[in-house]
Structure 1
């Protein structure tokens, strides 16, 4: 009996696409898995996310396509807000519900004042020890890779800032907490350390990222919603979900240049400006409002171009050739 010939796989064609998608990451996927799902859905040549969420976590994961990847590092360092549920009485090796149990302890009786006393030392500028299951690298390798091999790990400590940490509600041995923090803060570490202050241990049972500055009231899209748009209305409907790159730079000082100045910037030249103030980082726009790139204004009010978007440099090259 002859075998039926196999239908050759259709090679997916990717396209140039610029913009920012505010993805509502589902539970159970790593940030990279979620990124690859939307990248293939949008057929984007280039994509990157702005700060990992654990597989257990849900919520806002800004995904940058194309030229927007040039500002991903800025969003990575932004202020973020979370709602988390801390389960008291059990510590795990990952400090969350996905980890293996380490120690079970009785949960003593305590009131909200005792919880407040445990939270107070974890606010403000603090020194925090990262979880051993984290993406931090040691010797060029993520800690989680070493931990999975059973290696003994001394998790590093680093300085972080916790702007807000408070109890929202309590349901027996579960505490719902609101967290607002700066870059590099691990909510799992906050919950772990709170549990030790209470004397019973704790781990993260649920975690949801609510916002990332400057997207403080985000319209997020679920994977299922994007898939339905792609199948029902096509790529134009998908593309309408994207924010322009300018939206990710809303919190930075804005500088507007005319066409001649934009051309010079695209050639890498510096500009002397009037009516501006020195700034380490500014968002440079043309007179139509389109973003051209990032730069710095020094004490002599000289604008030094930094990372420029391709349309800025390509326009300058095209103009020179003409």
Structure 2
């Protein structure tokens, strides 16, 4: 994509990421299809994972961190009997153990141990860094280092089904949760080993997956039809309170300057003028509107 073909396009596309490609590869494909100057995703999915990957284009990237910090919901299958070096089907068999006879009461009792605020040790095969190097680089060299446990929250685990050697779960969790590690830990609590064989994200924050929104579907559309699929640039924070700015205050906001408003003190408010979102701001105790993210949607 040569630079002179790119355009200023702003919004959020809720991609259904396919199996077998990285989140960055999916991002670049969507960016190419939209001919967008700027794009970013909002929480990577491994190549073996599928499902919802919100893609922020243009000015929407100013809000992408809100989705990075948002809760996520996944459907996943844990195959029991052995673990792998990566915690999923991409790794080599690492440890093996017999599988106990499973029943629903036993499984539900174990799942209840992982609901709520828990500590989780991040995997070696992750993008977390040690002295500037991603842990997965060390892992590929056979190097393992101590990783401190981190607090996460599992809001809900629903058992969707099971057989003699696998469980399928629906998991809603906080940011920073590694479903691969959760799967391994659940398997160990059942008295065996396990690894993920399926991982599908169905929700990020308030966004839910629409299975139709694939790369192939985007490719089948004209550019105007693609544009019609985009959510507004402010969609990641659409639930915040809104302030309609007086016309004489607009220039101050667009220049990143404070001004007086008649609005309660708040840490985050969306600022609008005549139906156009100008950006994100906070209002201090003195009624001063302080711009935080100014949108340039021209």
Q: TM-score, normalised by structure 1?
A: 0.87
Q: Structure 1: which 4+ aligned runs deviate by more than 6 Å? A: 9-12
The unaligned stretches of length 5 or more in structure 1 are 1-8, 315-322
Task: Quote the offset at 1:10 in angstroms.
Answer: 7.9
Name the structure 1 match of 2:277: 291
CA displacement 1:63-90 (0-9 Å, x = unmatched): 0111111111111111111110111111
Higher RCO (CA-CA < 8 Å; seq separation 6+): 2
Greater CA drift, 40-49 or 136-145:
136-145
**How many aligned residue pairs are there?**
298
CA displacement 1:257-289 (0-9 Å, x = unmatched): 122122111222223332x33322222222x22
Name the structure 2 match of 1:207: 199
Distance 2:289 2:212 in 1: 35
Distance 1:247 1:159 in 2: 28
CA distance change for structure 1 residues 217 and 257 in 2, over 3 Å: closer, same or farther?
Answer: farther
- Which residue of 217, 225, 235 maps to 1:247? 235
CA distance change for structure 1 residues 285 and 176 in 2, over 3 Å: closer, same or farther?
Answer: same
SS of 1:310's equivalent in the other structure is: coil
**1:234-313 maps to which residues of 2 (within 5 A)?**
234-274=222-262, 276-286=263-273, 288-311=274-297
SS of 2:26's equivalent in the other structure is: helix
- Alpha carbons 1:296, 1:304 under 8 Å: kept: yes
Name the structure 2 match of 1:318: none
Is residue 102 of structure 2 the alignment partner of residue 110 of structure 1? yes
CA RMSD of aligned residues (A): 1.9
CA distance change for structure 1 residues 259 and 168 in 2, over 3 Å: closer, same or farther?
Answer: same
- Alpha carbons 2:52, 2:209 under 8 Å: kept: no
CA displacement 1:137-158 (0-9 Å, x = unmatched): 2222221122122222323421
CA displacement 1:84-130 (0-9 Å, x = unmatched): 01111111111111111101211011311111221112111111111
Distance 2:140 2:213 in 1: 33
Greater CA drift, 241-250 or 98-107:
241-250
SS of 1:239's equivalent in the other structure is: helix
CA displacement 1:199-250 (0-9 Å, x = unmatched): 1011111010001112136465111111122xxxx21122122111132222
CA distance change for structure 1 residues 132 and 70 in 2, over 3 Å: closer, same or farther?
Answer: same
Name the structure 2 match of 1:186: 178
Q: TM-score, normalised by structure 2?
A: 0.94
Distance 1:137 1:40 in 2: 30
Is residue 13 of structure 2 the alignment partner of residue 39 of structure 1? no
Distance 2:249 2:4 in 1: 40
Distance 1:113 1:271 in 2: 60
The unaligned stretches of length 5 or more in structure 2 are none
Name the structure 2 match of 1:164: 156
Greater CA drift, 146-155 or 132-141:
146-155
**1:18-33 maps to which residues of 2 (within 5 A)?**
18-33=10-25
CA distance change for structure 1 residues 10 and 33 in 2, over 3 Å: closer, same or farther?
Answer: closer
Pair member with larger Rg: 1
- Alpha carbons 1:264, 1:270 under 8 Å: kept: yes
Name the structure 2 match of 1:77: 69
- Alpha carbons 1:285, 1:291 under 8 Å: kept: yes
